[in-house]
A and B are shown apart, each in its own frame.
Chain A
Amino acid sequence: DAGITQSPRHKVTETGTPVTLRCHQTENHRYMYWYRQDPGHGLRLIHYSYGVKDTDKGEVSDGYSVSRSKTEDFLLTLESATSSQTSVYFCAISAGTGVNSGNTIYFGEGSWLTVV
């Protein structure tokens, strides 16, 4: 199993509060991704990183920011949480030049976030 740890695994927070989810990897993979998974939708990309301090937006990036100051850590921040951000969040990693080049993707266990 790839060494990917997400924290927290479960969180309930109030609308308007900031929330940070952490993804930590021990594989030294270059690419890291944050996805959200909601009923009726496939996994959707929020942001991804292709190196330290190199990040880019995905299809559902509004309301989220990310940071990657070290190879092993990729943080996802909800600046002011809303109920529409209640979801399951998955971190993933991929080696080399990323999934588009045919590298395997490995997922973390998921973080369940409820915004009330």
Chain B
Amino acid sequence: KNEVEQSPQNLTAQEGEFITINCSYSVGISALHWLQQHPGGGIVSLFMLSSGKKKHGRLIATINIQEKHSSLHITASHPRDSAVYICAGGSQGNLIFGKGTKLSVKP
């Protein structure tokens, strides 16, 4: 069983929809990272959080330490948001990655 689980695995949305991607982890972590991987492969760090909530533009990330759960929200989704979103927990010096959520936003 993967120690970091994401849901859903695949998500298709219409432009403008509000999107939520979930991440649950079973290990103790010191920080939770959200990453974005575009077609073509490049991986970009979106957020790193250890408590509460962070917002950057249309992206919002939240974490509940007690419930070992984090969510990534995208408001007013756009086709350029189409990518794979990956969460990863920092544990014992390294990151444990989820398998990713593939998001496709249709115009």
Contact = CB atoms under 8 A, between A and B. Distances in A.
Say whether A and B bind each other: yes
Contact of B31 (A43, A45, A90, A99): A99
Interface of A: 33, 40-45, 48, 58, 88, 90, 98-107, 109-110, 112
Contact of A102 (B31, B35, B94, B97): B31
Given A42-B4, A42-B98, A107 B44 contact: yes
A42 B97 contact: yes
20 contacts: A40-B99, A42-B88, A42-B96, A42-B99, A43-B86, A43-B88, A43-B97, A58-B94, A90-B43, A98-B94, A100-B94, A102-B50, A103-B48, A104-B33, A105-B48, A107-B43, A109-B41, A110-B42, A110-B43, A112-B41
Chain A contact surface mostly:
mixed
B92 A100 contact: yes
Residue of A45, A98, A99, A109 contacting most chain B CB atoms (<10 Å): A99
Nearest to B45: A104
Interface string B20-34: 000000000011010
A105 B46 CA distance: 10
Contacts of A48: 93-94
B52 to A, nearest CB: 13
Contacts of B92: 100
B2 interface: yes
